[in-house]
Amino acid sequence: MLLLSNHHRHRSSLLPLLRLLHHRHRSNQHFSTLSHPPLRPLDVPLSQPTYMIWSSNTSLGKTLVSTGLSSSFLLSASSSSTSLSLFPSKKFLYLKPIQTGFPSDSDSRFLFNKLSSLSLRRQARPSLSLSDSVIYSSVSAAKSVLSDKLQAQAKEFGSGMYNLNIREVNENSGGGEAVSELVCKTLFAWEEAVSPHLAAERESGVVGDSEVLEMLDKCLREGLKSDRERMEVLCVVETAGGVASPGPSGSLQCDLYRRVIVCRDSNSNFVIIMFSEEVRPFRFPGILIGDGRLGGISGTISAYESLKLRGYDVVAVVFEDHGLVNEVPLMSYLRNRVPVLVLPPIPQDSSNDLMEWFDASHNVFNSLKDIMLSAHSKRIQRLHDMAKRAGEVFWWPFTQHGLVPEETVTIIDSRCGENFSVYKGQDIESITQQFDACASWWTQGPDAALQVTLSQMTSFVIEILWFQTELARDMGYTAARFGHVMFPENVYEPALECAELLLDGVGKGWASRAYFSDNGSTAIEIALKMAFRKFSCDHGILLDFLNNNTAERVIKLKVLALKGSYHGDTLGAMEAQAPSSYTGFLQQPWYTGRGLFLDPPRVFMCNSKWDLSLPEWLHAKIVKLQDMIIHAAGGMHMIDPLFQRILVNECRNRKIPVIFDEVFTGFWRLGAETAADMLGCVPDIACFGKLLTGGVIPLAVTLATDAVFDSFVGDSKLKALLHGHSYSAHAMGCAAAAKSIKWFKDPQTNVNIISEQKLLRELWDLELVQQISSHPAIRRMVTLGTVCALELQAEGCNAGYGSLYASSLLRKLREDGVYMRPLGHVIYLMCGPCTSPELCRQLLIKLHRGLEDFNRVEEKVRAC
């Protein structure tokens, strides 16, 4: 039975999100008149097992495996011990997002037909209802299936995809009341039997990745709802071609199903650059259909590796036997950790109805189904237990374990660009999205931007630049090529490239040497040792010491530093900070505070206006508010840049070496590649970390001038800087840094770069920022580059680093898909150097909404 329903021109719900890039984007819309509301985080349900069916090449029998699985699932007696009956109510959901060669090829129809036959053949089974539908197709594919009348209508709509919505149902199988269901759906179909990207182009029916995933998401939600209580559901999503075959947009399928990235501006018929405003983590586990032919071992292993390189899990490998015992090397490669199943040879005669083959394959499909169901249960169980187990073995940094109940622990299944994929075990089990608004301790600069270029070779080609995937491949390559190799007196490619990029970038114009270490604290300890030596040289202390060896206990060297600053948690870094919550006897009894700590003037926004607070000791005139540098961990204070510049000049006049701690500020955090760019003066020594590697791996570097370096050169090893860590300049860190440094500053990969690579465009909507800064719950606000920080109005024990005042606000925001962490009563949103202003705008809107709720609750509390 063929059912035809209405078909209308496909309207992309993502059109409003499209924007032309390479143009600075500033929203002029007023807060209250948003053209599109913030996107809701989308959940991927985990309640029912859902698997991707991947294949190492085309025509290896993906659909036969899907069919066999459906038969095993729907037509076999249940082996589940929890089932009440031998044949409990079941649903098998088969989704084919992308189909070419349609309508002569239709994998969903194949499955539908075969299962109808199998159901009749195995009569002892419960009755079954089956359906097959096709949702969208290209015009030319639609013409082949539509009546003349509808064809005429179709022409009216011009090019594009059609909402075909044809549906075929079969209710008669097995007789009696249908207790089980087979639902087959083809989402998008094209006529030509070529790669989807070619078919889409040739048939003028290009579909963006986001459209594919949106439709897939919709079908999954509808399909996974079980209509009956205790209904068991198994869902498979069958890909097209090989794991890295392009989808309709040109994205490789193994990338496409990881998240939404590109869409088409159907007005201009131009594929344009777009930010990933929406991200959905379809990191479903998969089955890999391998290749049993000559050469098939290689293809199967390589396909498996491509999936692993994108963070997918594969629970089983299946392939057709060609008499070459390919399972032996495959099992060896997989070390028996992933089961390998072999299907009997498939009859080549096209008239064969395959019924006997399905009978012969029955046990294999039963095993495969059991593997899938069991892997799913184990995964859910593991996710479910993780919070409890974490609470038993972890000692989290900066965390009062007494204040972390199990239910508040965040279970992170994966990271996708700027988002965490978080397991939710309450109500319905699902994986949901949270924007990592603390940039995982200010380290992250993942890919939010993508580029699409018009090719000269075909009408278009989509060049998707995905930082996380490329970085992962680089990490694999570097680990395989170098692992880690010792650094001193050696040179290897990633370290050399990284050092040269640093000196030509953040160190340009002043630095000539790169000293690598592992994190901000160690970079600071190294910087201090450099500065002490330089100071000792410049002031004759070293000479005195070398001459009479008495200076050691006589000269007391101190740092000149700012109050409220934070440079890390090792003792040397702590000694260079003014006393704070981090430095007291409770934390480190050895701390003495070896510095002169100045209270600097601070800059902030309050009630929509920028303001400057002067410390008592300083009676200065108001400075021009053009550039500001931030004290991050000290509470996100923005220090007056003029003050800092004068301080640098005064130090230089007195031959006091100047260290810039750029661990937080470096690599575009504040909108320029370095804070030095914004201050308009350069240091003698500077420390970098965090964003240095793009946020993937620890690495830090201390840069220094030639003059600093020279104070350690001599003829004795004892005069050298004797400081090092095991993994100094480790290859993977340097490779990640080299890639990130280039990525962030290149307008081809970071569309936020403006004005000849010197600045990021404005990311935070000024109007929204002003509105929030005027909110009664806010005391002060600061936005700069990728940072937007707020100090809440808080008194007494509600204020300060130890305060839990912001907790309820942050809980609310997490529910709204924004993951934030407080610094006491100071909270912040942080994005990456490539994040789109639109996404930042949505974060601000959510923040504002959160503050409204927060204020209502607090007012009630105050009223009590």
Name residues contacting its own copies, limited to 496-555 (CB under 8 A).
496, 499-500, 503, 512-516, 518-522, 525, 528-529, 532-533, 536, 542, 545, 551-552, 555
Strand partners, 314: 286
Q: Is residue 367 involved in binding its own copies (CB under 8 A)?
A: no
**Among residues 143, 384, 645, 725, the one that binds its own copies under rule CB under 8 A:** 725
Q: φ and ψ at 4, to 5 degrees?
A: -115, 130
Q: Is residue 718 involved in binding its own copies (CB under 8 A)?
A: yes
Residue 650 CA to residue 654 CA, distance in Å, equals 6
Q: Is residue 696 involved in binding its own copies (CB under 8 A)?
A: yes
**Among residues 185, 310, 775, 846, the one that binds its own copies under rule CB under 8 A:** 310
Q: Is residue 327 involved in binding its own copies (CB under 8 A)?
A: yes
Q: Is residue 720 involved in binding its own copies (CB under 8 A)?
A: yes
Whether residue 47 contacts residue 429, with contact meaning beta carbons closer than 8 Å, is answered with: yes
Residue 500 CA to residue 427 CA, distance in Å, equals 53
* Interacting residues with its own copies between 554 and 583 (CB under 8 A): 555, 557, 568-573, 575, 581-582
Continuous H helices in 750-864: 766-773, 807-815, 837-863
**Among residues 84, 586, 863, 864, the one that binds its own copies under rule CB under 8 A:** 586
**Among residues 299, 600, 635, 671, the one that binds its own copies under rule CB under 8 A:** 299
To the nearest whole angstrom, how small is the minimum distance from the Cβ of residue 793 to its own copies?
Answer: 20
Residue 774 CA to residue 398 CA, distance in Å, equals 31
Strand partners, 560: 596
Q: Helices 62-75 and 362-393: crossing angle, nearest 10°?
A: 80
To the nearest whole angstrom, how small is the minimum distance from the Cβ of residue 632 to its own copies?
Answer: 11
Whether residue 209 contacts residue 249, with contact meaning beta carbons closer than 8 Å, is answered with: yes
* Interacting residues with its own copies between 278 and 297 (CB under 8 A): 283, 294-295, 297
**Among residues 325, 428, 543, 620, the one that binds its own copies under rule CB under 8 A:** 325
**Among residues 488, 616, 861, 862, the one that binds its own copies under rule CB under 8 A:** 488
Q: Which residues of 197-231 are buried (b: 16+ CB within 10 A; e: fewer)?
A: bbbbbbbebbbbbbbbbbbbbebbeebbebeeeeb
Contact string 587-626 vs its own copies (x = CB under 8 A): xxxx---x--------------------------------
Residue 254 CA to residue 243 CA, distance in Å, equals 6
* Tally of CB atoms within 10 A around 49: 24
With CB under 8 A as the contact rule, which of the stretches 87-95, 132-140, 213-221, 721-729 interacts with its own copies? 721-729
Residue 616 CA to residue 432 CA, distance in Å, equals 49
Strand partners, 745: none
Q: Is residue 31 involved in binding its own copies (CB under 8 A)?
A: no
Nearer to its own copies, 556 or 862 (CB): 556
Q: Is residue 832 involved in binding its own copies (CB under 8 A)?
A: no
Whether residue 238 contacts residue 286, with contact meaning beta carbons closer than 8 Å, is answered with: no
**If we measure between CA atoms, which residue out of 501, 509, 504, 499 comes closest to residue 682?**
509
To the nearest whole angstrom, how small is the minimum distance from the Cβ of residue 400 to its own copies?
Answer: 4
Contact string 67-106 vs its own copies (x = CB under 8 A): ----------------------------------------
Whether residue 44 contacts residue 280, with contact meaning beta carbons closer than 8 Å, is answered with: yes
Q: Is residue 377 involved in binding its own copies (CB under 8 A)?
A: no
**If we measure between CA atoms, which residue out of 303, 312, 199 comes closest to residue 249?**
199
Amino acid identity for residue 71 in this structure = S
With CB under 8 A as the contact rule, which of the stretches 30-38, 267-275, 434-442, 665-673 interacts with its own copies? 434-442
Residue 564 CA to residue 595 CA, distance in Å, equals 13
To the nearest whole angstrom, how small is the minimum distance from the Cβ of residue 249 to its own copies?
Answer: 11
Question: In whole angstroms, what separates CA 262 from the centre of its chain?
Answer: 16
**Among residues 148, 156, 401, 619, the one that binds its own copies under rule CB under 8 A:** 401
To the nearest whole angstrom, how small is the minimum distance from the Cβ of residue 382 to its own copies?
Answer: 8
Q: Is residue 484 involved in binding its own copies (CB under 8 A)?
A: yes
Q: Is residue 723 involved in binding its own copies (CB under 8 A)?
A: yes
Residue 751 CA to residue 741 CA, distance in Å, equals 15
To the nearest whole angstrom, how small is the minimum distance from the Cβ of residue 487 to its own copies?
Answer: 6
Q: Is residue 719 involved in binding its own copies (CB under 8 A)?
A: yes
Residue 319 CA to residue 709 CA, distance in Å, equals 61
**Among residues 305, 650, 746, 852, the one that binds its own copies under rule CB under 8 A:** 305
